[in-house]
Homo-oligomer: A and B are copies of this chain.
């Protein structure tokens, strides 16, 4: 069905002199992308891995009945609260549910944004400086009071909310941009600065935060660093382990780790700050971050392709790396099923004619619009003429680019439409990446769990994700959560990942959700070494207990 379109487009591309856009493709666009989008949420980017809450939030302790409060921790008393009030001064800095009723004020700090995890805390502290964080932690450590650091509370594994009565230390009031140097591109911020606030600030200075993700409007930079967030720009700008130049953090005993350097190079001793990046608040509270920020790209282009097989997707990715090289900023994978669900839910016309087994979204970001368009068009022409891709479109403006992105970013919402989704965020060597989706599909089909009518719990098996980072989101949309589906997937999926030396958590972290599965991605030796570090920095175990390792 797509072949004639493909050939026409390929011919048109061959005829076209750069940088004009082939007529065939313009017509194609007029037919599809200018139609209004229906049913999509109005936020331009939605989170990858959740849907809207549809039920009352259960306590985590009810969901995990085997969890017991550790008796070594003290219970919070009025005396403790009085101390915290004396240190933090401001009344707004202490939400006190210990000496009075403050349930409504505290609830947002007890529950995560997915409304999947819910704790029992009765005290929230909002320090305004690193010194205050230090005083609070020292006191907690001396008095064996457990704490949970909380940023924007937008995590996906329940890491930022209490389980029992741990004191919430919110960084929300530490929200100042400390400095920016537009020659070196080095930004220094308080941990509680919201990612989007920082990125907008940088935009005014023609720079870019080297991290972008769906929750940017609410997540804190400190939380991003604590969870080593990956997101949409990692392919191009690399991970936080490379981009974070310095950190300020407070250890359990109140020690201030003063490593907030603003130097690109500093080879004077162990790079201790790296332990806090992805440490999920279990060895200290991050209070300040120094990060190197790249120049903002003047030109951003987006293309969307249909491909006949996963083999072809790999070829296209390899070719994109060669031909687009330094301007390639995203290479996203979506399977036919994922796009089918988006269409079923939104009713929108697809960007391409017909149905293709696979789709890719490619984004380029560079400093010269003409050059980038030319590279992308040449690439498009090549992959079409070599029959690596079957069909493709290239966004002509920002509106069209956003429309194309929605076919990738709308997947989460679409597949959650029928009731729920089993979600797995996995790293897999790129050759095997899609095989897991196929095998999961076969497995659930052979067990009779997938079908079109209500007698089957699952609607299908969907695979998509950040191809450029070998990061697969394996999702199973269901009409209802059932033991049969869960038991068909787990621990089978983790064993599958383990055999291929993959990761059971590519970018979301461990939190409470994946704590018990770490052994599938880490050896006993590594886990033992991690526990050593935990014991070294937090011998009383007050930092974010019941989670991580």
Contacts and interface: CB of A to CB of B under 8 A. Distances in A.
Contact of A368 (B277, B371, B427, B429): B371
A173 interface: no
Contacts of A268: 503-505, 510, 514, 518, 521-522
A326 B367 CA distance: 7
A318 B182 contact: yes
A257 B528 CA distance: 10
Nearest to A323: B367
A206 B536 CA distance: 44
A275 interface: yes
A241 B274 contact: yes
B549 A269 contact: yes
A322 interface: yes
B526 A272 contact: yes
Interface in A481-537: 501-510, 514, 518, 521-523, 525-527, 529-530, 532-534, 536
Most buried by B among A259, A271, A277: A271
B321 A295 contact: yes
A133 to B, nearest CB: 15
A228 interface: yes
Contacts of A326: 297, 326-327, 365-367
Contacts of A269: 278, 510, 518, 522, 526-527, 530, 548-549
Interface residues of A, number: 91
A522 B503 CA distance: 35
A473 to B, nearest CB: 12
Contacts of A267: 227-228, 230, 278, 503, 505-510
Interface string A315-354: 0011001111111000000000000000000000000000
A183 B317 contact: yes
A367 B325 contact: yes
For A269, A279, A317, A429, the residue with the greatest tally of chain B CB atoms inside 10 Å of its CB is A269
A269 B526 CA distance: 9
A431 B525 contact: no
Interface string A405-443: 000000000000000000000010111000000000000
Given A268-B510, A427-B266, A261 B503 contact: yes
Instruction: With a 10 A CB-CB cut-off, give which of A206, A243, A427, A549 has the most chain B CB atoms.
Output: A427
Contact of A427 (B263, B522, B532): B263
B322 A506 contact: no
Contacts of A239: 242, 264-265
A471 interface: yes
Interface in A275-323: 275, 277-279, 283, 295, 297-298, 314, 317-318, 321-323
A271 to B, nearest CB: 6
A64 interface: no
A234 interface: yes
A256 interface: yes
Interface in A226-270: 227-228, 230, 234, 238-239, 241-243, 255-259, 261-270
A374 interface: yes
Contacts of A324: 367
Nearest to A297: B325
30 contacts: A181-B429, A182-B318, A184-B429, A228-B267, A228-B271, A238-B238, A238-B242, A238-B243, A241-B274, A255-B525, A257-B525, A257-B529, A258-B523, A258-B526, A259-B526, A263-B503, A265-B427, A265-B471, A267-B506, A268-B504, A269-B518, A269-B526, A270-B533, A271-B278, A295-B321, A295-B322, A326-B365, A326-B366, A368-B374, A368-B375
